[in-house]
Amino acid sequence: MGRSPCCDEKADLKKGPWTPEEDKKLVDYITAHGHGSWRSLPKLAGLNRCGKSCRLRWTNYLRPDIKRGKFSEEEERIIIHLHSVLGNKWSRIAAHLPGRTDNEIKNFWNTYLRKKLLHMGIDPNTHKPRTDLNHLLNLSQLLSSSHLIMNTTSTTISTPLENALKLQADAAHQYMAKIQMLQNLMQVMTSNSTISNTAQNIESINPSTLLGVQNNLHIFEGQIMGYDQIQNLGNIVPVCPNEYSKAIDMNPWASSESGGRTGGGDGVDHQKNSADDEGIHDQNIDQLPRLVSSAPFTGRTSFSNHTENKSDHSAIVHSPTSTVFEDWEKLMDDESSESYWKDIIELTS
């Protein structure tokens, strides 16, 4: 791009790790004068550094309000939850974690949480069960092991690991079966116009509608892997949007967002987002679906300490983007038993 670099490349500015002396100069200057223009700061502070480098050093390391040290389980849950809603918007996630920087959260995600989710069979990008071939192959092994577990532990108290294995295997069974069902449905919808009643809100079968189907598939996944599923194996109960909004009201994270930042005023004003933007942002957080419960990821809390976030975990809802598929959703909501889907398949095949 034609854009000029933020710093004069010919100036032979220092790069790499900061020395304690440089840190002191930077801290002393900002303490005395504020950072002002980052571009002019290095010269004024007597630093042979790029202004951008100074800004990063300050915001990520030297700022006095930075909380250092290990992330707590609560912070872990918040990060996973926010990432499921916001994606890699590290600065926005950081806005909900006072004292944590976007860089720190990003590093924590990339080095720890991401691997943790992968290990648990969750796609860290989508926060849904992994569906890549390799993982499905692994799941096939889980299927056989799950039979073993189910047969041997049916009358005994199972361990969290066994529960996890059962869930994974169960999820694989149901996931594959439902994909098959939906494929059959799609086949019929595209070939049989008599089903147009069901699809009256669907303009045509195009990529966007396929996306809608995909969304509903994801709803299944959320149900399969969600908290309710863990609490009540085999009892898949969709949550209506109203219930979700209620759940949001009771969302401890939503309250902590304001509560956690009351100490520093509105808190968010430190970010570049304007108040309006933040409003939209928070609104989006509330409106967007809880794609998958975060609690199960934490392992220890998911099986033993499940009551603390129960309202939140029930908040598995449909994506706003799938509103076109209200009929689909009705279909999904009516799914009270496997026989229901068997009937559909028999009807459509």
Query: Under the criterion CB under 7 A, does residue 198 sit at the interface with DNA?
Result: no
Burial class (CB in 10 A: 0-12, 13-18, 19+), 72: exposed
Q: How far is the CB of 66 from DNA (least distance, A)?
A: 9
Query: Under the criterion CB under 7 A, does residue 39 sit at the interface with DNA?
Result: yes
263-295 burial code (b ≥16 CB/10 A, e <16): eeeebbebeebeeeebeebbeebebebbbbbbb
Query: Under the criterion CB under 7 A, does residue 89 sit at the interface with DNA?
Result: yes
Query: Under the criterion CB under 7 A, does residue 63 sit at the interface with DNA?
Result: no
The answer for 36, left when phi > 0, alpha when psi is -120 to 50, beta otherwise, is left
Q: Which of 74, 75, 91, 256 binds DNA (CB under 7 A)?
A: 91
Give the interface segment with DNA, choosing from 87-95, 194-202, 205-213, 334-342 (CB under 7 A): 87-95
Query: Under the criterion CB under 7 A, does residue 6 sit at the interface with DNA?
Result: yes
Query: Under the criterion CB under 7 A, does residue 37 sit at the interface with DNA?
Result: yes
Give the interface segment with DNA, choosing from 106-114, 133-141, 250-258, 315-323 (CB under 7 A): 106-114
Q: How far is the CB of 283 from DNA (least distance, A)?
A: 16
Q: How far is the CB of 67 from DNA (least distance, A)?
A: 12
320-337 burial code (b ≥16 CB/10 A, e <16): eebebbeebbebbeebee
Tokens of 82: 């926010």
Closest to DNA by CB, 106 or 246: 106
Closest to DNA by CB, 75 or 338: 75
Q: Which of 29, 42, 47, 51 binds DNA (CB under 7 A)?
A: 51
Closest to DNA by CB, 1 or 157: 1
The answer for 37, left when phi > 0, alpha when psi is -120 to 50, beta otherwise, is beta
Tokens of 67: 């909380």
Q: Which of 29, 108, 175, 220 binds DNA (CB under 7 A)?
A: 108
Q: Which of 12, 16, 191, 346 binds DNA (CB under 7 A)?
A: 16
The number of CA neighbours under 13 Å toward the Cβ of 101 is 18
Query: Under the criterion CB under 7 A, does residue 20 sit at the interface with DNA?
Result: no
Q: Which of 25, 77, 83, 92 binds DNA (CB under 7 A)?
A: 92
Query: Under the criterion CB under 7 A, does residue 57 sit at the interface with DNA?
Result: yes
The number of CA neighbours under 13 Å toward the Cβ of 305 is 10
Q: Which of 18, 29, 227, 297 binds DNA (CB under 7 A)?
A: 18
Residue 34 DSSP SS3: coil
Task: Return the closest-CA partner of residue 62 out of 45, 74, 80.
Answer: 45
Query: Under the criterion CB under 7 A, does residue 60 sit at the interface with DNA?
Result: yes
CA separation for the pair 33, 64 (Å, rounded): 15
Alpha helices in the chain (DSSP H): 20-33, 41-45, 51-57, 73-86, 90-95, 102-108, 114-119, 133-153, 160-191, 207-225, 227-231, 241-249, 252-259, 275-287, 300-304, 310-313, 326-333, 338-348
Q: What is the DSSP letter of 112?
A: I
CA-CA distances (angstroms) from residue 189 to 195, 199, 201, 343? Answer: 6, 8, 13, 16
Closest to DNA by CB, 60 or 163: 60
Query: Under the criterion CB under 7 A, does residue 48 sit at the interface with DNA?
Result: no
Number of residues in contact with DNA under rule CB under 7 A: 45
Query: Under the criterion CB under 7 A, does residue 112 sit at the interface with DNA?
Result: yes
Closest to DNA by CB, 47 or 182: 47
202-225 burial code (b ≥16 CB/10 A, e <16): beeeeeebeebbebbbbbbbbbbb
Q: Which of 48, 88, 180, 201 binds DNA (CB under 7 A)?
A: 88
Site for DNA in 264-293 (CB under 7 A): 271-274, 277
Query: Under the criterion CB under 7 A, does residue 3 sit at the interface with DNA?
Result: yes
Residues found near DNA in the complex (CB under 7 A): 1, 3-6, 14-18, 36-39, 49-53, 55-57, 59-61, 88-92, 102-104, 106-108, 110-112, 115, 271-274, 277
